[in-house]
Amino acid sequence: MNEILWYSSRATGIASIVLLTAVLALGMVTSGRRRTQGDRATVVMALHRWLSLGMLTFLLAHIATAVAETYVSIDLVSALVPFTSGYATVWVGLGTLACDLLLAIGVTSWFRPRIKEPTWKAVHLLSYAMWPIAVVHGLALGTSGEPVLRGITVLCGAVGLGFAGWRVVTSHQDRDRREAVLAQEWS
């Protein structure tokens, strides 16, 4: 039983990082690009939201199995409070930290209509910190001795970095025009 939990934890962990990377990529496409025609914007946006829910399911299973299995010492507290686990304090702690950030992102997104937009945006931008922390957590903990898992995680890292690089350099006319006008005298 314990072994099943251990393997399930790593499997759901890999699933989580893959889905997280996809969700981030989709989010970057939404913010980085505008098309005047077609369904793409709608599909991307819907997938971004839908996959994030799917990812949360796998993430919950990942945390639950990691806490439940007794091979290593990770208790419920350390699943919420970073850097408090007995086992691999730093690496598990990074996972917990990423999860806490994700919690903030998720909650603010759920309550977006009720909170100030700049607040929502600032928390949502924490994804760019949360994702690399999750990737490092995955590389350090879940992939040693498993070249396939390591390969998948590294691929997620590369894809995420690629999208982030594109996102930094890309622009579209709406943003360009707003920035250009904002630079003029308005006060």
Partner 1 sequence: MSQPVEPVEPVEPVRAAGLGRSSAGSRIAIDRVACTGHGICARILPDDIGLDEWGYPILRRPGGSTVSERDATVAVKLCPARALFRA
Partner 2 sequence: MTILDGLAAAGLTGRGGAAFRTAIKVRAAHHNGADLIVNACDGEVGAAKDGWVVAHHLDELVRGAALVTPGRRQTVRYAAHRGSGTEQRLRAAGVDVLGAPARYVSSEETSLISLAHDGLARPMTKRAPFVFGGVDSRGRRIRPTVVLNAETLWRVAQIADHGPEWFRSVGTPDEPGPRLVTITGHVSAPGVVETSAGVSLADLLDSAGGLAPQATSILVGGLGGAFLTAGEARGAVWSGPGLAAYGAYLGPGVIEVIDPSSCPLAVVDRMLSYAAGESAGQCGPCMFGLPAIAADWHELTTRPSHEVLTRLRDRLGVVSGRGACHFPDGVARFAASALRVFGPHLDLHVTGSCSRARRLEHVPAR
Site string for partner 1, 79-118 (x = CB under 8 A): ---------------------------------xx---x-
Q: Which is nearer to partner 2, 42 or 187 (CB)?
A: 187
Binding flag, residue 173, partner 1 (CB under 8 A): yes
Q: Which of 120, 128 has the CB closer to partner 2?
A: 120
Q: Which residues of 79-107 are buried (b: 16+ CB within 10 A; e: fewer)?
A: beebeebeebeebbbbbbbbbbbbeebee
DSSP 115: S
Stretch near partner 2 under the rule CB under 8 A, chosen from 19-27, 87-95, 136-144, 173-181: 173-181
Position among 114, 118, 145, 169 found at the interface with partner 2 (CB under 8 A): 118
Between the alpha carbon of residue 140 and those of residues 3, 10, 120, 180, the distances in Å are: 20, 12, 31, 44
The least CB distance from residue 185 to partner 2, in Å, is: 5
Task: Give me the long-range contacts of 1-7 (CB less than 8 A, separation at least 24).
Answer: 2/69, 2/70, 2/71, 3/71, 5/65, 5/66, 5/68, 5/69, 5/71, 6/65, 6/69, 6/71
Residue among 46, 53, 76, 80 that touches partner 1 (CB under 8 A): 46
Q: Identify the residue among 5, 45, 61, 88 touching partner 1 (CB under 8 A).
A: 45
Contact range with partner 1 by CB under 8 A, out of 38-46, 74-82, 89-97, 141-149? 38-46
